[in-house]
Chains A and B, each alone.
Chain A
């Protein structure tokens, strides 16, 4: 973890048809850290990540990425800068193969006319397997359809995809929801591995016990506001639980 801030938000506000979903939120995220973003349902976690991932734009406030102010018009723009978001349910296409999923929208092509070209399937298959090995996920074939993988393996594929495209920041939206204990541990291991490879992750969850072991920094949200922002050494699980429950 370095002392440099990779993302800094200042006074972000967002309204959804009259509801003040995000209130003057300011947040600093250090490079190569794991930040746990926790809060109950409706606390504004999703709104915040939608803004950081470029899916929505804030009504007021500023976002700085690596020290420069950014205004994303689409998720593609955020992805090009290296901010990749893994949504809870919709990150992979179940019927498609692992290799095709890894390269959706960023296929390696040849004989291109404009943006359309033939896919280099062999090189994509190989790159897919290498990317999976890099996150210690050993699967048999890049042609396996994703719907034949377990929940934890799917998260692994998504994380491998983000790694392959050299993401700097990975936003994980409830990555351990609906997973068994074993599968959850797999995902936590992937996220720990990210830190070593110089990737900052923002881990969103309402389950404190999942994120606490691997987080460097914990940020608690309630009613659209940040109510606590603590380094792990300055806090403990009881204090955080209290914040989470009592706001």
Chain B
């Protein structure tokens, strides 16, 4: 799918894969990948977060306003990121404590956090304070920005955690079947809470990178990002029902969305078609994923049917000896 789309746009405009265009797209993509990673992990644990787009704006806005209040930049960054953690905690607490769907709890948080961001501007967006060490996060190298390396770091740590650590095993089992996981002694609520917090933190961290890049804290930043990051995760093979997905898949999903956007512009198609393209991409990739899984299962069932035939002789003798 990735290859098909990339080739298609390359044919439409050969500059699509030029260093310049890759530089532009990869300059903005890391932020989206980081959010998608957080969402993917949370979805694998069986929950949702619709508030990431609002947290994406609230966290950097908090940092900027704190610096304007005269706070040292690093303290402001730490406090800002802890807002992301706090929102994640509240999302998790409401969902798990009151047993309501995370869809609803975080939908509420979507509005609350967005509203707080606007209130924090006091009416108009503040200027970007240059005391903040934004070069560290977004410095433009030859082709890539520093944010790419931060993203790779996040992806590496998240990948090890999810795919290689026992915590990852708990996350998959919690999302796969919460009752089974807890009967095996997994504290499923703690696992989910961890994922909510991680998701909030990563959304805030990514929002900070975007604000540092454009050097303007906008209250509208990350509008509709929650749906786009769920889309990225789903395109990358994360299941809506939990228990299935990879970090790599979510990252590819996010990259694909950004290149789709850029490709449509480069192919001189009206940019309004981006959303239609994104919509089709979501549907096609999920249908495709489902088809692949079904096909795999059918093959296995066929093999099993044959094996059962072969074993039936043995089983019947066992039954007879038991009845005696």
Say whether B172 contacts A95, CB under 8 Å.
yes
The residue on B at minimum CB distance from A161 is B184
Kindly provide the distance from the CB of A125 to the nearest chain B CB, expressed in whole angstroms.
13
Kindly provide the distance from the CB of B212 to the nearest chain A CB, expressed in whole angstroms.
30
Q: Which of B186, B300, B318 contacts A148 (CB 8 A)?
A: B300
Total number of residue pairs linking A and B with CB closer than 8 Å = 100
Residues of A within 8 A of B318 (CB): 185, 189
Residues of B within 8 A of A135 (CB): none
Q: Which of A55, A79, A96, A189 contacts B172 (CB 8 A)?
A: A96
Give bound CA distance, A215 to B183, whole Å: 26
Q: Which of A116, A148, A181 contacts B166 (CB 8 A)?
A: A116
Give bound CA distance, A182 to B312, whole Å: 7
Chain A 117-139, CB-CB to B under 8 Å as 1, else 0, gives 11101000000000000000000
Say whether A91 contacts B173, CB under 8 Å.
no
Answer whether residue A177 sits at the interface, using C-beta atoms and an 8 A cutoff. Answer: no
Answer whether residue B115 sits at the interface, using C-beta atoms and an 8 A cutoff. Answer: no
The residue on B at minimum CB distance from A111 is B165
Say whether B243 contacts A76, CB under 8 Å.
no
The residue on B at minimum CB distance from A79 is B185
Give bound CA distance, A30 to B147, whole Å: 65
Q: Which of B166, B182, B183, B319 contacts A107 (CB 8 A)?
A: B166
Per the CB 8 Å criterion, the residue count for chain B at the interface is 35
Kindly provide the distance from the CB of A23 to the nearest chain B CB, expressed in whole angstroms.
26
Say whether A214 contacts B322, CB under 8 Å.
yes
Most buried by A among B183, B239, B323: B183
Give bound CA distance, A152 to B182, whole Å: 23
Say whether B186 contacts A104, CB under 8 Å.
yes
Say whether A75 contacts B172, CB under 8 Å.
no
Residues of B within 8 A of A90 (CB): 177, 179-180, 183
Say whether B165 contacts A118, CB under 8 Å.
yes
Q: Which of B310-324 contact A (CB under 8 A)?
A: 311-312, 315, 318-319, 322-323
Give bound CA distance, A138 to B165, whole Å: 27
Q: A93-B243, A182-B311, A214-B322 are in contact. Are A105 and B164 (CB under 8 A)?
A: no
Say whether B177 contacts A93, CB under 8 Å.
yes
Give bound CA distance, A181 to B186, whole Å: 33
Q: Which of A75, A76, A79, A96 contacts B173 (CB 8 A)?
A: A96
Residues of B within 8 A of A148 (CB): 296-297, 300
Give bound CA distance, A103 to B315, whole Å: 30
Q: A96-B176, A189-B318, A214-B322 are in contact. Are A105 and B243 (CB under 8 A)?
A: no
Kindly provide the distance from the CB of A75 to the nearest chain B CB, expressed in whole angstroms.
6
Residues of B within 8 A of A117 (CB): 165-166
Residues of A within 8 A of B296 (CB): 148
Residues of B within 8 A of A121 (CB): 164
Kindly provide the distance from the CB of A50 to the nearest chain B CB, expressed in whole angstroms.
11
Answer whether residue A150 sits at the interface, using C-beta atoms and an 8 A cutoff. Answer: yes
Say whether A74 contacts B172, CB under 8 Å.
no
Which DSSP category, helix, strand, loop or mixed, fits chain B's interface? helix
Say whether B184 contacts A116, CB under 8 Å.
no
Say whether A150 contacts B176, CB under 8 Å.
no
Q: Which of A201-245 contact B (CB under 8 A)?
A: 213-214
Say whether B186 contacts A105, CB under 8 Å.
yes
Kindly provide the distance from the CB of A152 to the nearest chain B CB, expressed in whole angstroms.
9
Kindly provide the distance from the CB of A34 to the nearest chain B CB, expressed in whole angstroms.
12
Give bound CA distance, A100 to B176, whole Å: 12
Q: Which of A95, A101, A150, A185 contacts B319 (CB 8 A)?
A: A185
Residues of B within 8 A of A103 (CB): 169
Residues of B within 8 A of A147 (CB): 297
Answer whether residue B271 sits at the interface, using C-beta atoms and an 8 A cutoff. Answer: no
Give bound CA distance, A75 to B177, whole Å: 17
Residues of A within 8 A of B164 (CB): 118-119, 121
Say whether A116 contacts B167, CB under 8 Å.
yes
Q: A93-B172, A100-B172 are in contact. Are A87 and B166 (CB under 8 A)?
A: no
Kindly provide the distance from the CB of B50 to the nearest chain A CB, expressed in whole angstroms.
24
Give the 4 A-B residue pairs with the shortest CB-CB distance, closest first. A93-B176, A107-B166, A76-B185, A213-B322
Q: Residues on A close to B: CB < 8 A?
A: 55, 74-76, 79, 85, 87, 89-96, 100-101, 103-107, 109, 115-119, 121, 147-148, 150, 181-182, 185-186, 188-189, 213-214
25 contacts between A and B (CB under 8 A): A55-B183, A85-B183, A90-B177, A90-B180, A93-B181, A94-B177, A95-B239, A96-B169, A96-B243, A101-B173, A104-B173, A104-B184, A117-B165, A118-B165, A119-B168, A119-B169, A121-B164, A148-B300, A150-B308, A181-B319, A182-B308, A182-B311, A185-B322, A186-B315, A214-B322
Q: Residues on B close to A: CB < 8 A?
A: 160, 164-170, 172-173, 176-177, 179-186, 239, 243-244, 296-297, 300, 304, 308, 311-312, 315, 318-319, 322-323
Known: A76-B185, A94-B176. 19 other contacts (CB 8 A): A75-B184, A85-B183, A93-B177, A94-B243, A95-B176, A96-B172, A96-B173, A96-B176, A100-B169, A101-B173, A104-B169, A104-B170, A105-B181, A116-B165, A116-B166, A118-B164, A148-B300, A185-B319, A185-B322
